[in-house]
């Protein structure tokens, strides 16, 4: 039986507002470029190609970077069975399955679309979680696939990447911003400052959007498995285990925090405002709220 993932009106509204603010920031950025007479076609084309490569080959790049290996049903029958069952409930094509040989307990999903998706789990998470908890984690990752989060975040970050590119290559691209006379230098400075403002604002907005997508995936997992408590238990176990993982392993994995179900942080945790994920406390509170709602549904 297929299960509808449902929706959270408040969460949907916050995601919509964040996307609206991002669009407003990007329109402002384009207006500044236009007024400054910037020949930005080449920049946008270059960044577009760069993001397209990332988008279309993200699954291969992430798996390769993490040292993940795709496994067949014969190699991991229980894991494949869980993924297949959840995919059927979510009305998704069964994604490819991979295992990462590391003691760090985590899981992630990547791929440009449901038909080109892959779900990966670490050996550490399989050793630490019960079958029900692992199923809840896989439900979270399949919800990311269902919600097309890779596509959403790639599109949301497009002009932020353009702004970052301009800042990093300001002097090289200076000639494209109006020439070497005084007016041209003024235009160049306006474009640089606008790029800086756009990058800073979009950084926080994209982080907020990423956190909202995590809440949505938690909701999807709770409804797919019918047990928010199992996901809450898994999150507590994963988070607690991170403290025992060597700093070197955490630093190596930090670049992929946006993909993980729990970010790999070395040293002190970052402020939630800067994080791609909500705090553990907020996620547990949200899951408790979902559990109460699901009891009312029954």
Averaged pLDDT for residues 178-183:
58
Q: Check residues 261 and 234 and name the one with the higher pLDDT.
A: 234
What global pTM score does this model have? Answer: 0.79
Q: Which of 78, 60, 76 is nearest to 68 (CA)?
A: 60
Q: Is residue 275 part of a domain?
A: yes
Q: Is the pLDDT of residue 177 over 80?
A: no
> Does residue 292 lie within any of the structural domains?
yes
Query: 251 in a domain, yes or no?
Result: yes
- Greater confidence, 172 or 82? 82
pLDDT tens, position by position, 50-96: 777 777 777 787 788 888 899 999 999 999 999 999 999 999 999 99
pLDDT of residue 38: 63
Which of 126, 147, 100, 58 lies closest to 252, judged by CA? 100
d(CA 13, CA 26): 20
- Of these residues, 135, 141, 183, 293, which one is catalytic? 141
Is 4 inside any structural domain? no
Taking each helix axis as running N to C, give the angle between helix 158-168 and helix 149-156, from 0 to 180 degrees, rounded to the nearest 10.
40
Ramachandran category for residue 120: left, alpha or beta (phi over 0 → left; psi -120 to 50 → alpha): beta
Cβ atoms of 106 and 253 within 8 Å: the answer is yes
Q: Is 141 a catalytic residue?
A: yes
Q: Is it the case that residue 115 has pLDDT exceeding 70?
A: yes
The answer to whether residues 180 and 145 touch, using CB atoms and an 8 Å cutoff, is no
Average pLDDT, the chain: 80
Is 37 among the domain residues? yes
Host H or E run for residue 156: helix 149-156
Whether the predicted pLDDT of 167 surpasses 80:
no
For residue 11, report the phi and psi dihedrals to the nearest 5 degrees. Answer: -65, -45
Q: Write out the residue range of the structural domain in which residue 69 sits.
A: 9-297
Segment 184-205 mean pLDDT: 82
Give domain status of residue 233, yes or no: yes
Instruction: State how many domains the chain has.
Output: 1
The string of pLDDT tens digits covering residues 11-34 is: 778 778 888 888 888 788 878 877
């Amino acid at each position: 039986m297929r299960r509808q993932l449902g929706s959270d009106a408040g969460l949907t509204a916050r995601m919509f507002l964040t996307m609206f603010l991002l669009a407003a920031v990007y329109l402002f950025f384009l207006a500044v470029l236009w007024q400054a007479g910037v020949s930005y076609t080449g920049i946008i084309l270059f960044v577009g190609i760069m993001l397209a490569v990332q988008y279309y080959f993200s699954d291969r790049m992430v798996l390769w970077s993490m040292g993940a290996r795709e496994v067949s049903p014969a190699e991991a029958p229980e894991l494949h069975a869980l993924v297949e069952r959840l995919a059927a409930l979510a009305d998704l094509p069964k994604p490819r399955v991979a295992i990462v040989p590391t003691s760090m307990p985590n899981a992630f999903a990547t791929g440009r679309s449901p038909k080109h998706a892959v779900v990966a789990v670490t050996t550490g998470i399989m050793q630490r979680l019960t079958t029900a908890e692992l199923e809840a984690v896989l439900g979270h990752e399949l919800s990311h696939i269902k919600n097309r989060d890779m596509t959403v975040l790639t599109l949301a970050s497009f002009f932020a990447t353009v702004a970052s590119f301009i800042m990093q290559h300001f002097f090289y691209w200076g000639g494209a911003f109006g020439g070497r006379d005084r007016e041209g230098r003024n235009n160049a400075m306006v474009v640089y400052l606008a790029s800086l403002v756009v990058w800073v604002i979009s950084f926080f907005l994209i982080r907020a959007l990423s956190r909202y997508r995590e809440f949505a995936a938690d909701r999807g997992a709770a409804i797919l498995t019918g047990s928010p408590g199992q996901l809450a238990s898994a999150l507590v176990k994963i988070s607690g285990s991170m403290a025992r993982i060597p700093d070197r392993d955490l630093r190596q994995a930090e670049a992929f925090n946006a993909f993980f179900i729990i970010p790999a942080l070395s040293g002190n945790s970052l402020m939630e405002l800067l994080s791609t994920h909500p705090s553990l406390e907020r996620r547990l509170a949200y899951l408790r709220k979902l559990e109460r709602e699901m009891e009312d549904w029954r």
